[in-house]
Amino acid sequence: MTIVRLGYVAMSMHVQNASPSKTMTFAQFSKIADREAAIRKLERIAVSNLENCLRLLKHNLANDIRFFRFSSRIIPLANHEELPHWNYLRPLKTAMEQIHTFLSEHPDFRVDFHPDHFVILNGTDKDILNMSIKTLRMHHGLLKGLGINPEHRCVVHVGGGYNDIEKALEQFIHNWGLLPASLQKMIMLENDDTTFTLKDTLYLCEKLGIPLVFDYHHHLAHNRDERNWGDSWERIVDTWDFSELPIKMHISSPRSEKEFRAHADLVDSSMFIEFLEKIKGSVPQIDCMIEAKQKDEALFSLVRDLKQYKQIRFIDAASFEIL
C-alpha cells in the first residue's frame, strides 16, 4: 500500500485575481523617471505576489491539497544586471512571515520551486553559470525568508546537451563543485523530454547524491529505447535515501500524439493508474506534482476520475491509497 498526495503548480483556475507572478519588464521600469519610486513599485508587485501565494495556500488547505509549487517569478527583476544593489528581500519580510506562520501551523504542507529553463548548470559560459547560481541564491533566500528548510526544495533540469551528452554530463559534475554546499543541498534533478533521459539523470544523481524527480511524461517522450523505467525504479527511490522528504514525481499527459511533449489541459487518469500500479507498495508515500495547463482544476478533475477505480481509496480530497 502506498499513500499518494496530489499537488499542482503555482496558479489557480478557481481563485480569482490571485496571480503569484505579476511582473514588470525592465522597459516599464526604465520609463519611471524616479528610480526609487520604480523600485518601490517592484516591491509592491512582489508583496502582492506573496500575498496571493498565501491566498492559494489557504485555498489548498480548504481542499486538502498539501503539496504546492510556488511561482519562481514572485520578485520581478530580482537578478537584473541594472539592479545589483537592490535588497529585494527586506521589504518582503512581513509578507514572508505571514506565509511562514501559515506553514508553521500546517507542518504537513510540502512546498517547493522549479526555476525557469534559463538556470543551466552544465554550460561552459561563466556568465550563464554565474547568473544561474545567482538565481538559485534568490530561491534559497526566499525559502529561508519563508521559514522553509531549503534542502531538496528546488527542481532543475540537467541543462544543455551541446551535441555530446557524455561531455555535457561530465561538465555538470565539474560545475557542481563550483556551487556552494547550501545550493547543492537545495537541488533535485529531473529527467527532461528532449535531452537527458532517466538513465542520464540517474547517473548524475547517484554520483553526486541528488534526489531524482521522475517525470513520467518526459520519460515516455524521450527515453532512447530505455522504455522499461520500472527496472530503474528502485534506483530512483534510493536517491531519496538521504532526504527527509517523501519521494516526488511529476505527472502530466501529452496534448496529442502529434504534440506529445506538450502538456495537456488535464491528466489522463488511465496513464496515471498505469504508473501507480507499477510502484504501489514500493514506497510508503509519493508526492505527485501535476503539471497540467488547468492547474488546480486538473487536480480536481483527476480526483473525480480516480474515484472510479476500485484500487483507489481516498483519505481526503487530494490524497489516497493505492491498494
User: Going along 150-264, which residue ranges are E strands?
Assistant: 154-157, 187-190, 212-215, 247-251
pLDDT at 35: 92
Query: Can you say how many angstroms the Cα of residue 295 is from the centroid of all Cα atoms in its chain?
Result: 13
Helix axes 126-145, 93-105, angle to 10 degrees: 60
pLDDT at 37: 95
pLDDT average, residue stretch 293-305: 98
**Among 268, 247, 238, which Cα is nearest to 256's?**
268
Q: Give the DSSP H/E element, type plus range, for residue 66.
A: none
Q: CA 300, CA 21: separation in Å to the nearest integer?
A: 23
pLDDT at 161: 96
CB 254 within 8 A of CB 77: no
Q: CA 28, CA 148: separation in Å to the nearest integer?
A: 33
In 84-145, which residue ranges form alpha helices assigned H by DSSP? Answer: 93-105, 126-145
Q: Name the burial class of residue 241, with classes exposed (0-12), middle (13-18) and buried (19+) by CB atoms within 10 angstroms of its CB.
A: exposed
Q: Is 9 helix (H, G, I), strand (E, B) or coil?
A: strand
Q: Name the burial class of residue 74, with classes exposed (0-12), middle (13-18) and buried (19+) by CB atoms within 10 angstroms of its CB.
A: buried
pLDDT band at 312 (very low <50, low <70, confident <90, very high): very high
DSSP 136-180: HHHHHHHHHHTT---TT-EEEE----TT-HHHHHHHHHHHHTTS-
pLDDT at 227: 72
- All three cell numbers of 76: 520581478
Query: Can you say how many angstroms the Cα of residue 323 is from the centroid of all Cα atoms in its chain?
Result: 27
Tell me the one-letter amino acid at 135. T
Fold of 2-17+97-322: TIM Barrel (3.20.20)
pLDDT band at 224 (very low <50, low <70, confident <90, very high): confident
The tens digit of pLDDT for each residue in 234-245 reads 999 999 999 999
- All three cell numbers of 145: 525568508
CB 121 within 8 A of CB 204: no
The two counts, helices (H) then strands (E), for the chain are 11, 10
pLDDT at 62: 98
Q: Is 14 helix (H, G, I), strand (E, B) or coil?
A: coil
pLDDT average, residue stretch 178-202: 97
Among 74-83, 103-112, 183-192, the minimum mean pLDDT is found in 74-83
pLDDT band at 225 (very low <50, low <70, confident <90, very high): confident
Distances (CA, A) of 268 to 21, 181, 265: 28, 39, 10
The C-alpha R_g of the chain, in whole angstroms, comes to 20
Domain boundaries, the chain: 2-17+97-322
pLDDT at 309: 97
pLDDT average, residue stretch 52-64: 98
pLDDT average, residue stretch 188-212: 98
Q: Is the pLDDT of residue 194 over 90?
A: yes
- Tally of CB atoms within 10 A around 139: 25
